[in-house]
Amino acid sequence: MAKISFHHSDGNVDVLDVDPGTSLMRAAVTNGVDGIVGECGGQAMCATCHVYVRPEYLDGLPDIGDDEEEMLECTAGPRDETRSRLGCQITVGDGLEQIEVDVPDDQI
Amino acid sequence: MTAAATDARPVPTADWVTIPDLYRNPYPIYQKLRAESPVHWVPAVNRYMVTSYQACHVIEQDQERFSADETNSLMKRAMGHSMLRKDDPEHDVDRKSYGNVLRPKAIKEHWNAIFQANSDKYLAQLKAAGPGSDFIWDYAAPYAAENLRLIMGFHNASQEDMQRWSQTMIDGTGNYADDPEVWAKSEQSYNEVDDAIDEILPYLRKNPDASLLSGMTSMPIPLEAIRANMKMTIGGGLNEPRDVLGTTVWALLDNPDQLAQVLADETLYARAFEESVRWVAPIGMYPRETTADTVLEGVQLPAGARLGIVVGAANRDPAVFEDPESFNINREKKPHLAFGGGNHFCAGAWVARASVAQIAMPQVFRELPNLRLDPDNTPVDAGWVFRGMTKMPVLWG
């Protein structure tokens, strides 16, 4: 199992243990994590699974693809140049056994 | 998910629901249904109607239990077997064939300039026709149709062709009464669209552009799938932006305080757009079919059950939205289901937002000062599977 922590601005944290291969978006939607919508089901089409990855986990992430880059320009919350990612494009396991992210206040 | 059938409630029947009532105004019906159960068997519609937000949301996230590939689908007959009636992985192949054509970058680079030119053209025609002309038929419909024609690459058709194809094939998709005249018109459009595609593909191979059909020429996708997906896109890409444009303008004209807010801050057109599609979803219901006996939000459904996912009702569920029957651009932001969700999330969502909220609405209110409804000629909103303004005479100046 891999561990994902979603930090909310009110201080609450959702900590999920999920199967390797699960995306942050899918984990959040399946477990009812507030603030992650994931409207498009993971096609990098809707920009509603925006997260800010905590700096200590940035090195382990895949590069930002063209579709994700385009969507990061369409997020409701402000884009952070280094920390903003789409939750649907980050999958845990296979070297990323743990990750912590901050959930934006606005997703739509 | 695996609750035993004995724990589940049976589905209530709503034999009091009639199609003419739904067509006139479905919302009081949805209120009554939703308060009683998230799902009903509705004989008049020959479907189980799913009206709660949570139940609709569960369905759109679970294509294993709730398939889009419906048996005896009228849409398949009217338009062919498009991606809208496929599940993954088959759906995904078709969806990928649309490439980046409808995405924000292409909209910025190619389509916004075309939308602006089309809005200029049809707004000039509306002004020439003068106060008393119909906002829907003299502006919103030709504007949406011409936008779609160019996005799709139908250089051999007119916007009037697009409107006729869209309406007649949509009528076929909804031809539950099996009216032979409706089928005849729908089939004529089906054949016209196939002929237009056959004619334009060789041209676009030699003269590529940013359009969907041009992109198709280099995609490994069978002609049959292209034909069906183009018909679905004609049906799903014209009436809907037309209707959200009409409904939003109507709602703002009917709520002068909110209109004043938007006029003072043009960034609020985006809020007005999202609130409008929540309030009146242009596509109010779409079908799914259960793949096995299952329990949905505590209600027992048999395998092969034909479902109507009533997002028009889900978007007014008081469990999610406060004072849901009101149009209110200042309401707390919550995700609506008007664009669908999961793998079938509307491919044209960004095109609709750009063409309607960024270009058409600001220009309409800028160039038609004191725009207002005609007190002597009442507007008409109608429909339930598809809902919008069927008549909206306006005055200005």
ipTM of the shown complex: 0.92
C-alpha to C-alpha distances, B367 to A59, B108, B195, B362, nearest whole angstrom: 51, 23, 39, 9
Q: DSSP string of A12-31? A: -EEEEEE-TT-BHHHHHHHT
Q: How many residues does chain A have?
A: 108
Longest dimension (CA), chain B: 66
Chain A residues close to B343, C-beta within 8 Å: 40-41, 43
Residues of B in contact with A70 (CB under 8 A): 103-105
Give the residue from B103, B267, B271 with the most A CB atoms within 10 Å of its CB, the best one to mutate. Answer: B103
C-beta atoms of A107 and B105 within 8 A: no
CB nearest A39 (choices: B103, B333, B335): B335
Is residue A86 within a helix (H) or strand (E), and if so which, with residue range? strand A84-86
Q: Which of B335, B345, B350 sits opposite A43 (nearest CB)?
A: B345
Partner-chain contact A41 B341, CB within 8 Å: yes
Instruction: Give, rounded to a whole angstrom, the gap between the first and last alpha carbons of chain A.
Output: 31
Distances (CA, A) of B122 to A59, B127, B248: 52, 9, 18
Q: Which letter does DSSP use for residue B310 in this model? A: -
Contacts of A71 in chain B (CB under 8 A): 104
Q: Is the model's pLDDT at A17 over the cut of 50?
A: yes
Q: Distance (Å) from the C-alpha of residue A16 to the closest C-alpha of chain B?
A: 19
Pick from B105, B274, B345: which is nearest to A40 by CB? B345
Which pLDDT does position B3 carry in this prediction?
A: 46
The SS3 call for residue A50 is strand
Closest CA to B315 of B326, B305, B307: B326
CA B310 to CA B49: how far, in whole Å? 7
Q: Please state, in angstroms and rounded to a whole number, the distance separating the CA atoms of residues A25 and A33.
A: 9
CB contact under 8 A, B345 and A45: yes
Compute φ and ψ for B71, nearest 5 degrees: -70, 145
Q: Which chain A residues touch B349 with a CB distance below 8 Å?
A: 45-46
Q: What is the pLDDT of residue B237?
A: 97
**Which pLDDT score, from 0 to 100, does residue B1 have?**
46
Chain B partners of A43 at a C-beta cutoff of 8 Å?
Answer: 95, 343, 345
Task: Write the burial class of residue B178 (CB in 10 Å: 0-12 exposed, 13-18 middle, 19+ buried).
Answer: exposed
CA distance linking residue A83 with residue B42, whole number of Å: 49
φ, ψ for residue B311 (rounded to 5)?
Answer: -65, -25
Do B342 and A40 count as a contact with CB atoms less than 8 A apart?
Answer: yes
| N residues, chain B | 397
Residues of chain A with Cβ-Cβ distance to B1 below 8 Å are none
Task: Tell me the one-letter amino acid at B344.
Answer: H
Sign of the four-CA dihedral B161, B165, B166, B171: positive
Smallest Cβ distance to B104: which of A37, A70, A106?
A: A70
Question: For residue B359, what pLDDT is reported?
Answer: 98
Residues in B touching A67 (Cβ below 8 Å) = 100, 103
Chain A residues in contact with B335 by the CB 8 A cut-off are 37, 39, 48, 107-108
What is the three-state SS of B204-223? Answer: HHHCCCCCHHHHHCCCCCCH
Three-class SS state of B83: helix
Q: Residue A108 and residue B274: Cβ atoms within 8 Å? A: yes
Q: How far apart are the first and last CA of chain B?
A: 59
* Structure confidence at residue B6 (pLDDT): 61
Select the residue of A37, A43, A74 nearest B335 (Cβ to Cβ). Answer: A37
Q: What is the pLDDT of residue A94?
A: 87
Bridge pairing between strands B372-373 and B66-67: unpaired
Q: What is the mean pLDDT of residues A6-29?
A: 96
Rounded CA separation B161/B154 (Å)? 10
Per the structure block, which two tokens stand in for B152? 């799709």
Q: Which amino acid makes up residue B58?
A: V
Residues 6+ apart with CB under 8 A from B184: none
* pLDDT per residue as tens, chain B (397 positions): 444 546 799 999 999 999 999 999 999 999 999 999 999 999 999 999 999 999 999 999 999 999 999 999 999 999 999 999 999 999 999 999 999 999 999 999 999 999 999 999 999 999 999 999 999 999 999 999 999 999 999 999 999 999 999 999 999 998 988 999 999 999 999 999 999 999 999 999 999 999 999 999 999 899 999 999 999 999 999 999 999 999 999 999 999 999 999 999 999 999 999 999 999 999 999 999 999 999 999 999 999 999 999 999 999 999 999 999 999 999 999 999 999 999 999 999 999 999 999 999 999 999 999 999 999 999 999 999 999 999 999 999 9
pLDDT score recorded for residue B274: 97
CA distance B392 to B172: 25
At CB < 8 Å, which residues of chain A contact B?
Answer: 29, 37, 39-41, 43, 45-46, 48, 67, 70-71, 73-74, 106-108
Closest by CA to B196, choosing from B174, B226, B219, is B226
pLDDT at B196: 98
The sign of the CA dihedral B234, B237, B240, B246 is negative
Average of per-residue pLDDT values in chain A: 95
Please name the residue of chain B whose CA is at the shortest distance from the CA of residue A49. Answer: B335
pLDDT confidence of residue B106: 97
- Chain B neighbors of A46, CB-CB under 8 A: 345, 349
Q: Which residue has the tokens 């649309």?
A: B98
Is there a contact between B343 and A43 if contact means CB atoms under 8 Å apart? yes
Q: How many helices (H) and strands (E) does chain A have?
A: 2, 5
Nearest-CA distance A30 → chain B (Å)? 9
